[in-house]
A and B are shown apart, each in its own frame.
Chain A
């Protein structure tokens, strides 16, 4: 697998997806065993967003009925999920450096320039950010953690996610292929 593929650039020395998946599942299981909840990311991004917005616009954040669950005055970032995502950053850096994959770059398809890649990264980010709030989480918090506990909504989310991805893929093929 992969050796005679034209896509060797995206298959360089990565670990087996099955092995990595099982190890990731054990990390998730340990999290449930230790804490009683699973992994997550978008909740942390929401807390950081509220924190960052509070600096220039304190009134706006404090009066916002959605942000009120995500912001507190005292030590706003001393929070389990924010620490977990901080750990992810360190783990990602260590993984990339030890795998000799760390380099400052713009990852893009062969037919798109960096400026356009940035534009679409921003647009995609906005859509995903909005989507995570609607769904109450992302691939980590809903699909993985919810999926492992067999939550109905999590499996609806997974079906929605793959449907959305396959529905749009054809129209934005130039971004990646």
Chain B
């Protein structure tokens, strides 16, 4: 068990930065290849016309979830050293809701805006400028938002811990639901 490699000092911080550039390269390249730098394609899911967002997102989540599960099962990766996004249930639910609204109005989420900008879209640059303004507004309003921002804290809780079952079962259920969603997407697109 020697992974994550960085946590076991198997390479330096600066080499980590080189890896960051490479990882980002593939991330941006793949988003572009899927067409996710295009806000017309990104928003089409909300008009039931093109479900690329859902297909890419769930294929990626599943692949990674299965991989993490497998690597921890065979003892190649130490789960205790893998970052689990801390749960603050209310701000995450409401933050997600607001992000969905802004996504349809503006045409992007942050990562796809970066790729939209990289493929020459001026509207993506304006969206990113908007992101910075929104972040600034949050930072200025933080004293008033703090109590909500910290509400619903449940530490590193996962779906399996929450439901009192195993990681494998949850992944199986998500896989099943994802395939139903993929099937329904294909149906809707071919109408």
Residues in A lying within 8 Å of B, measured CB to CB: 1-2, 5, 7, 9-12, 14-15, 17-18, 20-39, 41-42, 45-46, 48-50, 52-53, 64-67, 78, 80-81, 83-96, 99, 101-109, 117-118, 120-169, 172-173, 175-177
B177 vs chain A, min Cβ distance (A): 11
Tell yes or no: B67 within 8 A of A by CB: yes
- Determine whether the beta carbon of A156 is less than 8 Å from that of B27: no
Which of A45, A128, A176 is within 8 Å of B102, CB to CB?
A128
Task: Say yes or no: A83 contacts B24, CB within 8 Å.
Answer: yes
Could you tell me the distance between the alpha carbons of A80 and B143 in the complex, rounded to whole angstroms? 28
C-alpha gap A26/B109 in the complex (Å): 21
Given contacts A78-B17, A149-B84, contact A118 B189 (CB under 8 A): no
Binary per-residue interface labels of chain B (159-191) against chain A in the complex, 1 for a CB within 8 Å, 0 otherwise: 110100001001100000000001000100110
**In the bound complex, do residue A32 and residue B68 qualify as a contact, i.e. CB atoms below 8 Å apart?**
yes
Helix, strand, loop or mixed for chain B's interface?
helix
Partner pick for A152 among B44, B158, B186, CB 8 A cutoff: B158
Residues B21 and A83 in contact, CB atoms below 8 Å apart: yes
Let me know if B139 and A154 touch, CB within 8 A: no
Q: Which residue of B lies closest to A143 (CB)?
A: B57
Are B118 and A1 closer than 8 Å at their CB atoms? no
4 further interface pairs, Cβ-Cβ under 8 Å (given A27-B27, A103-B120, A145-B85):
A28-B63, A122-B129, A136-B92, A151-B156
